[in-house]
Amino acid sequence: METSQGEYFVVKAKDNGVQVIGLTRGLDTKFHHTEKLDKGEVMIAQFTDHTSAVKIRGKAIVFTKYGVIDTEE
Ligand code: TRP
């Protein structure tokens, strides 16, 4: 396992319909999963062999080891 993998992140939705979109690892960068969160819902997820990037749509707070990011700021 590479060091880029296995890291966790947390998304807390501040609104209904927030989307957490997983993008594939490797030569192709494609959406492979969209998880929808409603207001107050929390998703705890990991970067994996299948997921190298994550795109977040909507109003949410994202917690990573690099800090806390509010998507509205
Ligand atoms: N099956 C996916 C995987 O193992 C599940 C997953 C992990 C995921 N992290 C994610 C889906 C982040 C969306 C966003 O990679």
pTM: 0.93
CA of 18 from ligand 1 middle (Å) equals 16
What total number of domains does the chain contain?
1
In whole angstroms, what is the distance from residue 62 CA to residue 73 CA?
12
Give the domain range for residue 34. 8-68
Q: Which of the listed residues 5, 31, 47, 50 should we mutate to test ligand 1's pocket, taking the one with most ligand atoms within 8 A of CB?
A: 50
Question: With the C-alpha atoms ordered 25, 71, 6, 41, is the resulting torsion angle positive or negative?
Answer: negative
- pLDDT by residue (tens digit) across 18-28? 999 999 999 99
- pLDDT by residue (tens digit) across 51-62? 999 999 999 999
Residue 23 inside a domain? The answer is yes
Residue 47 inside a domain? The answer is yes
- For the Cβ of 35 lying below 6 angstroms from any atom of ligand 1, the answer is yes
- pLDDT by residue (tens digit) across 61-72? 999 999 999 999
pLDDT classification of 3: cutoffs 50, 70, 90:
low
Q: For residue 38, what is the domain's CATH number?
A: 2.60.40.50
What pLDDT shows up at residue 2?
53
Residue 43 inside a domain? The answer is yes
